[in-house]
């Protein structure tokens, strides 16, 4: 059986995730984690990544991936305008809104010197 | 007479004969819920006022002799990850704690149009992520057969509500067994239809290529009826199949002669509880006795199902749950310095640990450098799992397997060993990966009196054959009238998350 | 050292649909904030996208228009995952790996030189919402979700452009065909066309590319040209100092006329693309493209060439007459009906174009029907009305009253020219008889006095005499005294 190395072989070669990787992923997923939580997740993610490495046992050469299980194609709608929600319905449940807009904290900007 | 124990047909007859009113039924169910739900915790939100209003409408229709839908006046519980207009839809999560959708899910709209009476929204593992219903922000659900045990998950609230007589019908959802497994552990009937059979519009996405709304009931007949109401093409879901829905009732004949039932040997491998195995084997023998032909088959990639599922489901979940960002709706943390802080604190505080774990795994397997090794590889193995089923269904009409390797386990028992919990999904996840339908029906009890489920898997869009076999079995199995005693008052254990 | 700039362009145009790409909300410009949204484009839990057929058709039309060699057999959608307040789902549904079409091209012209610019790919995707910042509140962004889900066509060029002028010409050519084929209104002021050039500089003759920077916040072609020029100079400056260009996204500051690195700290992008499970693939592209190709209108470049050779008009006139399909159709109808392409072109370039500019003429619904304008041109040719009167009096009257026939207008305005030679001869004779002194002077050689006589005839006839005939008569009579 193929070891899957031609795909990068990542799961087999380095199955356990590091704390830095967990930190990076937590950032990608916008989850604030304490160091204790990082460790908690590191152990659990490591266990499951180790487990899924078993997929490397299988020869997947010439196998097409499945992203949709039913083979439907060209599902299209006509270009017809339908009623929208009222503004109140649309943004009424936003945690913060003003003057018809949803309010969000501004993205922090730094000036050219990098000072916040 | 215990109204809460009746099936759809019986309630319908009593309504039409005007022996009882829809309001009587609704009242009886809320009385039952008040009596037992303190212990079971099946519901997150009760809709008593709305239910009575709807019952009044139904009674008016009956009084004026209008034609009635088969579900008119029938109580239904809706899993709380299915949108109900103007009614909290929490997904078992803090992040949607006060969220009220602007629209009804298509399945809910069809229930309303059929004059069913929605009693409330049922508890679940947060966003459907769990197999024990311990991962709900609204507390764990107890199994009515033993309040110290889990009901299964993630549709544990729906399954427990049925087992405890807190509803007649229930909607579940099934991404990796979430309808079938709790049905099995609570001794009720639950079907995961073929992917595309029931519209996903309004089903809050967990893993979009796997999710389906499931129909749950205490009998095969009621389950089939519920599915026939919610199934069918919906132009608002691009993956909804434009196929006619058969009248499932026509297939409840009790006749299974000539049908070929495959028994996949990989589903009876190590790890299965001996009592579960013997109950399931007895059920298969029983079907053979009814005239079905039982044959041994192999699904060689079964052992990879859980790994593929973990990768595919979490990848999709990591994307689907990105929308909970504290901007447009739902929970927003209060203490933050800037946008990035608002995002990550909101999501940290709003999601439970199991959900966070899955989001992170999903983000990881999609991230630069890992996509091919994890996600793409999993999607390829998924093709092999599908192929296994296609090959099996070339020679059999359905597959018979256990629903779950063990009976209901104790609350808290597996909280520290999530991997063991995932591995037990082995009989369930493949059907979602392949998109095929599966039903769980009760097939007996362990010595301690816990239900055991028989799972039947079928060809795509062939739910009718599953109902046919399930019905034939159910009508000839003698233990089907058992009810849990539910008399142990119990203090709920702590939040599992 | 001599340097060479390598410029590529990523352009987004809004596809001309009535509803959004994945839901039925309107795409109309200028609505009140957050009034054109629904569960789908707001990314509410449980809502699902359904692809707009028109967006696919317009995308394929662009593929045909831009001569794409490859219409992808199975165009698929993917999710691009990132967090931003204007992106309510936390991902953008776009195309990745399998865009609608690839390998197209477009011709540009700079200072008379033709050049072909390659198009790498075309894809369709959804727009995000709009963030608004108010001066007074530095810690809040206001979000308008109306633009969420507005269909966009992404056009990515090959790095074939070399100068700011070429970049400008590329955008102009792109805008022209996109508008012409009805794919987009491409109005930059309405955000219907946006472009992000990327620039790198290398010493001339080198094969390796330099480090790229991207330019954003460009709201006119002129700014694009200026910003690219600025950026090229900046790169060269850095290289000359022996330093390295850093990869960056540069924001153009129109007021300061300079680009500076984006102040928002950019994330290390990891978009975690994966196939969109909620949408099915589009496999009808090739058939549909073939159909569109058969029905595609003649494009401006070909049309201009045909006008020049077929109607014998000047290239400048052809440019105006072919400026939009509606104008071109009108021009051809007038030219055919009056039988004189040159005259028709003069009218389009002069009178009609000014009416359009003054907002008195809708090219899609001309106030003066082509046959009527042709009839007017014929009246001028026949001498029934003077060219000046036709332009300055008759045409404006027809513009005011669309039903009015040119003959009627000429008569109503009393502008019919006297072309009856016998009647004019009588007037000419009278004028000659009344001005004996001038006649003598004329015959002595003061030929400029002819104008005086013409003026007299015109006065007698209240300006209605056909000047051509009057001229002929006067010359003959004065000569033969």
The predicted-structure confidence for C353-398, as pLDDT tens digits, reads as follows 888 888 888 888 888 999 999 999 999 988 888 888 899 889 999 9
Q: State which residue of chain B sits closest to C92, comparing Cα positions.
A: B319
Residues of C in contact with A74 (CB under 8 A): 280-284
Between CA C10 and CA A26 the distance in angstroms is: 31
B363 touches chain C (CB under 8 A): yes
- Give contacts of B105 with chain C, Cβ < 8 Å: 46
Query: Cβ of B241 under 8 Å from any chain A Cβ?
Result: yes
What are the two backbone dihedrals, phi and then psi, of residue C156, each rounded to the nearest 5 degrees?
-110, 125
pLDDT greater than 70 at residue A12: no
What are chain C's partners, defined as 3 or more CB pairs within 8 angstroms?
Answer: A, B
Nearest CA in chain A to B98: A93
Number of C-beta neighbours around residue C329 at 10 A: 14
Is the pLDDT confidence value at A15 over 50?
Answer: no
pLDDT at B27: 97
Chain B 76-95, CB below 8 Å of chain C: which residues?
Answer: 82-83, 89, 91
Tell me whether residues A8 and B373 touch, CB distance under 8 A: yes
- Boundaries of every domain in chain B: 3-299+387-481
Q: What pairs with residue B169 in β-bridges?
A: B76, B217
Pairs of residues, one from chain A and one from chain B, whose beta carbons lie less than 8 Å apart: 184
| Predicted complex ipTM exceeds 0.90 | yes
Chain segment B315-337, per-residue pLDDT in tens: 999 999 999 999 999 999 999 98
Cβ <8 Å between B338 and A106: yes
Parallel, antiparallel, or unpaired: how do β-strands B438-445 and C140-144 relate? unpaired
Q: So what's the pLDDT on residue C264?
A: 55
CA separation for the pair B177, B24 (Å, rounded): 35
Residues of B annotated as part of the active site: 79, 154, 178
Rounded Cα distance, C43 and C114, in Å: 46
User: Looking at per-residue confidence, does A2 or B333 come out higher?
Assistant: B333
Token pair 């003003």 is at which residue?
A: A98
**Smallest Cα–Cα separation from B357: which of B423, B412, B310, B426?**
B310
pLDDT over 70 (residue A114):
no
CB-nearest to B102 from A4, A32, A85 is: A85
The answer to whether the Cβ–Cβ distance between C277 and B316 falls below 8 Å is yes
Mean pLDDT of the region C2-28? 97
Candidates A26, A60, A89; nearest CB to B380: A60
Q: Which of B209, B238, B343 sits opposite C83 (nearest CB)?
A: B343
Residue B386 has pLDDT above 50, yes or no: yes
Task: Please tell me which residue, C125 or A11, carries the higher pLDDT value.
Answer: C125
Cα-based distances in Å from C470 to A48, B5, C391, C459, C467 = 103, 112, 21, 12, 5
* Residue C81 with chain B: CB contacts under 8 Å: 318-319, 322, 366
Among residues C39, C55, C80, which one has the least CA distance to residue C276? Answer: C80
Tally the residues of chain A: 116
pLDDT surpassing 60 at residue B302: yes
Residues of B in contact with A85 (CB under 8 A): 102
Q: Does B420 touch chain A (CB under 8 A)?
A: no
* Cα angle for residues A55, A57, A58 (degrees, 5° grid): 80
- Are C43 and B319 in contact (CB < 8 Å)? no
pLDDT tens digit string along C124-177? 999 999 999 888 888 899 999 999 999 999 999 999 999 999 999 999 999 999
Which residues in chain C touch residue A82, judged by CB atoms under 8 angstroms apart?
Answer: 19, 23-25, 38
Helical spans, DSSP H, in B17-125: 22-40, 48-63, 106-113
> C277 and chain A: CB distance < 8 Å anywhere?
yes
> Which of B326, A7, B380, B375 has the alpha carbon at shortest distance from C272?
B375
Chain A neighbours (≥3 Cβ pairs under 8 A) are B, C
User: What angle do the packed helices B353-366 and A19-28 form, to 10 degrees?
Assistant: 90
**Mean pLDDT (whole number) for B112-122:** 98
Q: With bands split at pLDDT 50, 70 and 90, how would you rate the model's confidence at C446?
A: confident
Are A58 and B304 a contacting pair at CB < 8 A? yes
Rounded to the nearest angstrom, the minimum Cα separation between B203 and chain C is 5
**Nearest Cβ partner for B315 among C88, C270, C274:** C274
What confidence tens digit (pLDDT) does each residue in B11-62 have? 999 999 999 999 999 999 999 999 999 999 999 999 999 999 999 999 999 9
> B429 touching C, CB under 8 A?
no
What is residue A13's predicted lDDT score, i.e. its pLDDT?
47
Which are the contacts of B357, defined by CB distance < 8 A and separation ≥ 6?
A41, A44, A45, B418
**Cβ contacts from A onto C, under 8 A:** 132
What DSSP state is assigned to residue B269? Answer: S
Cβ separation C34–A87 shorter than 8 A: yes
Distance in angstroms (rounded) separating the CA atoms of residues B456 and B441 = 8
Nearest Cα of chain C lies from the Cα of B366 at a distance, in angstroms, of 5
Cross-strand pairs, C143? A102, C131
The minimum CA-CA distance between A81 and chain C, rounded to whole Å, is 5
Task: Give the H or E element holding residue C92.
Answer: strand C91-94
Q: Which of the other chains make 3 or more beta carbon contacts under 8 angstroms with chain B?
A: A, C
Chain A neighbors of C142, CB-CB under 8 A: 98-99, 101-104
What pLDDT, on a 0 to 100 scale, did the predictor assign at position B479?
65
The pLDDT value recorded for residue A4 is 35
Phi, psi of C75 (to 5 degrees): -80, 130
Sign of CA dihedral C66, C69, C71, C77: negative
Cα distance between residue C3 and residue C200, in whole Å:
10
Residue-wise pLDDT tens digits, C181-228: 999 999 998 999 999 999 999 999 899 999 999 999 999 999 999 999
Q: Is B366 on the interface with C (CB under 8 A)?
A: yes
Average pLDDT over residues C17-26: 98
- For tokens 């083979």, name the residue: A71
CA distance C458 to B19: 107
Question: For residue A101, what are the β-bridge partners?
Answer: A98
- Please, what is the average pLDDT of chain C? 92
Q: What is the mean pLDDT of residues A80-91?
A: 97
Is the model's pLDDT at C439 over the cut of 70?
yes
Most trustworthy range by pLDDT among A112-116, B40-44, C308-312: B40-44
Domains, chain C, ranges and CATH? 3-289 (no CATH), 298-412 (no CATH), 421-479 (1.10.10.410)
Cβ neighbour number for residue B494 with a 10 Å cutoff: 11
In the structure encoding, which two tokens stand for residue B368, read together?
């630069």
Instruction: Answer for the pair B265, B401: CB distance below 8 angstroms, yes or no.
Output: no
* Spatial CB neighbours of C478, under 8 Å, sequence gap ≥ 6: C432, C439, C442, C443, C450, C453
pLDDT level of residue C112 (50, 70, 90 thresholds): confident
Partners of residue A27 in chain B, C-beta under 8 Å: 344
Selecting from 2.30.29.30, 1.10.10.10, 3.40.50.970, 3.90.1300.10, what CATH number does the domain B3-299+387-481 have? 3.90.1300.10
Residue numbers in A near B374 (CB within 8 A): 10-11, 52
CB contact under 8 A, C280 and B238: yes
Residues C239, C243, C245: CA angle, nearest 5 degrees: 75
Reduce the DSSP state of residue C477 to 3 states and report it: helix
SS3 C324: coil
Q: In angstroms, what separates the C-alpha of A32 from chain C's closest C-alpha?
A: 14
Interface residues on A facing C, Cβ-Cβ cutoff 8 A:
28, 30, 67-68, 72-87, 90-91, 98-112
Percent pLDDT > 90 in chain B is: 92
Taking only the tens place, the pLDDT of each residue in A24-75 is 999 999 999 999 999 999 999 999 999 999 999 999 999 999 999 988 999 9
Tell me: the pLDDT tens digits for B173-219?
999 999 999 999 999 999 999 999 999 999 999 999 999 999 999 99
Q: What is the pLDDT of residue C268?
A: 60
**Tokens 């502008």 found at:** C415
Residue B276 clears pLDDT 80, i.e. is over it: yes
* CA C405 to chain CA mean position, Å: 32
The mean pLDDT of chain B is: 95
């Amino acid at each position: 059986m193929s070891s899957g190395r031609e795909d990068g072989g990542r799961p087999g070669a380095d199955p356990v995730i590091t704390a830095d990787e967990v930190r990076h992923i937590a950032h990608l997923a916008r989850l604030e984690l304490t160091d204790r939580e990082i460790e908690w997740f590191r152990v659990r993610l490591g266990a499951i990544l180790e487990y899924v490495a078993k997929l490397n046992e299988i020869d997947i050469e010439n196998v097409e991936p499945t992203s949709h299980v039913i083979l439907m194609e060209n599902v299209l709608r006509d270009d017809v305008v339908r009623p929208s929600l009222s503004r109140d319905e649309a943004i009424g449940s936003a945690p913060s809104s003003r003057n018809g807009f949803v309010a969000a904290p501004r993205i922090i900007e730094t000036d050219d010197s990098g000072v916040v | 007479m215990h109204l809460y124990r009746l099936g759809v047909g019986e309630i319908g007859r009593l309504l039409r004969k005007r022996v009882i009113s829809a309001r009587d039924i609704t009242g009886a169910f809320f009385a039952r819920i008040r009596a037992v739900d303190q212990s079971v915790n099946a519901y997150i939100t009760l809709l008593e006022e709305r239910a009575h209003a709807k019952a009044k409408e139904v009674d008016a229709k009956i009084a004026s002799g209008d034609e009635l839908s088969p579900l008119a006046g029938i109580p239904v519980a809706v899993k709380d990850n299915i949108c109900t207009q103007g009614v909290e839809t929490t997904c078992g999560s803090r992040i949607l704690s006060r969220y009220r959708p602007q629209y009804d899910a298509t399945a809910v709209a069809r229930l309303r149009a059929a004059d069913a009476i929605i009693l409330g929204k049922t508890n679940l593992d947060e966003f459907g992520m769990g197999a024990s219903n311990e991962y709900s922000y609204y507390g764990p659900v107890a199994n009515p057969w033993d309040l110290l045990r889990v009901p299964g998950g993630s549709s544990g609230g729906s399954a427990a509500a049925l087992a405890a007589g807190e509803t007649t019908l229930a909607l579940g959802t099934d991404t990796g067994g979430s309808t079938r497994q709790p049905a099995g552990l609570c001794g009720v009937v639950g079907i995961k239809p073929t992917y595309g059979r029931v519209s996903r519009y309004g089903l809050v996405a967990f893993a979009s290529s796997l999710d389906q709304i499931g129909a749950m009931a205490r009998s095969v007949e009621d389950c089939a009826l519920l599915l026939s109401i919610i199934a069918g093409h919906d132009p608002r879901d691009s993956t909804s199949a434009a196929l006619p829905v058969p009248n499932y009732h026509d297939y409840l004949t009790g006749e299974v002669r000539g049908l070929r039932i495959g028994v996949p040997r990989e589903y009876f491998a190590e790890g299965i509880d001996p009592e579960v195995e013997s109950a399931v084997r007895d059920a298969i023998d029983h079907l053979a006795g009814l005239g079905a032909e039982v044959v041994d088959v192999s699904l060689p990639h079964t052992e990879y199902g859980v790994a593929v599922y973990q990768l595919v489901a979490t990848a999709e979940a990591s994307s689907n749950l990105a929308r909970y960002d504290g901007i447009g709706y739902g929970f927003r943390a209060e203490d933050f310095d800037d946008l990035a802080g608002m995002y990550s604190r909101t999501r940290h505080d709003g999601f439970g640990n199991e959900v966070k774990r899955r989001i992170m795994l999903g983000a990881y397997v999609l991230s630069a450098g890992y996509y091919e090794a994890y996600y793409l590889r999993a999607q390829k193995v998924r093709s092999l799992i599908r192929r296994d089923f296609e090959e099996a269904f070339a020679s059999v009409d359905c597959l018979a397997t256990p629903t779950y390797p063990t009976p209901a386990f104790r609350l808290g028992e597996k909280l520290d060993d999530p991997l063991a919990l995932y591995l037990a999904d082995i009989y369930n996840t493949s059907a979602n990966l392949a998109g095929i339908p599966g039903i769980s029906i009760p097939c007996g009890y362990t010595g301690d009196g816990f239900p055991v489920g028989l799972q039947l898997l079928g060809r795509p869009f062939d739910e009718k054959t599953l109902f046919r076999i399930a019905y034939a079995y159910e009508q000839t199995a003698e233990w089907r009238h058992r009810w849990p005693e539910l008399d142990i008052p119990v203090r709920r254990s702590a939040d599992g998350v | 050292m001599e340097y060479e700039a390598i410029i590529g362009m990523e352009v987004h145009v809004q596809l001309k649909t009535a509803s959004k790409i994945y839901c039925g909300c309107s795409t109309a410009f200028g609505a009140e904030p957050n009034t054109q949204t629904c569960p789908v484009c707001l990314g509410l839990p449980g809502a699902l996208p359904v692809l707009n057929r028109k967006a696919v058709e317009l995308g394929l039309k662009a593929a045909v228009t831009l001569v794409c060699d490859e219409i992808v057999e199975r165009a698929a959608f993917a999710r691009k995952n990132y967090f931003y307040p204007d992106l309510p789902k936390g991902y953008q549904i776009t195309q990745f790996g399998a865009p609608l079409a690839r390998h197209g091209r477009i011709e540009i012209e700079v200072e008379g030189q033709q050049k072909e610019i390659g198009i790498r790919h075309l894809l369709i995707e959804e727009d995000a919402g709009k963030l608004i910042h108010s001066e007074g509140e530095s810690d809040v962004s206001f979000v308008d979700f109306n633009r969420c889900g507005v269909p966009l066509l992404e056009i990515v060029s090959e790095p074939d452009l070399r100068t700011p002028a070429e970049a400008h010409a590329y955008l102009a050519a792109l805008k022209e065909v996109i508008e012409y084929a009805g794919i987009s209104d491409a109005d930059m002021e309405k955000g219907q066309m946006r472009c992000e050039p990327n620039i790198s500089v290398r010493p001339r003759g080198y094969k390796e590319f330099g480090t790229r920077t991207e330019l954003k916040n460009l709201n006119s072609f002129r700014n694009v040209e200026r910003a690219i020029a600025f950026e090229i100079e900046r790169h060269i400056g850095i290289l000359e100092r022996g330093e390295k260009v850093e990869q960056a996204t540069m924001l153009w500051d129109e007021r300061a006329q300079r680009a500076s690195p984006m102040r928002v700290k950019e994330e290390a992008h990891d978009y975690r693309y994966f196939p969109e499970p909620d949408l099915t693939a589009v496999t009808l592209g090739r058939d549909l493209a073939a159909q569109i190709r058969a029905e595609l209108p003649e494009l401006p470049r070909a049309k201009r060439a045909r006008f020049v050779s077929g109607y014998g008009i000047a290239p400048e006139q052809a440019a105006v007459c072919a400026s939009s399909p509606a104008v071109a159709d009108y021009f051809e109808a007038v030219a055919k009906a009056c039988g004189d392409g040159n005259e028709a072109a003069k009218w389009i370039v002069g009178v009609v174009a000014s009416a359009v500019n003054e907002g008195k003429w809708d090219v899609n619904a001309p106030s003066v029907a082509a046959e009527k304008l042709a009839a007017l041109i014929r009246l001028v040719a026949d001498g029934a009305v003077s060219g000046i009167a036709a332009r300055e009096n008759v045409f404006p009257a027809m513009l005011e009253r669309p039903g009015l026939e040119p003959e009627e207008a000429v008569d109503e305005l009393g502008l019919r020219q006297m072309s009856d030679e016998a009647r004019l001869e009588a007037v000419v004779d009278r004028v000659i008889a009344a001005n004996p002194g001038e006649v003598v002077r004329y015959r002595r050689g003061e030929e400029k006095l002819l104008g005086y006589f013409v003026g007299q005839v015109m006065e007698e006839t209240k300006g209605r005499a056909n000047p051509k005939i009057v001229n002929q008569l006067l010359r003959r009579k004065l000569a033969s005294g």
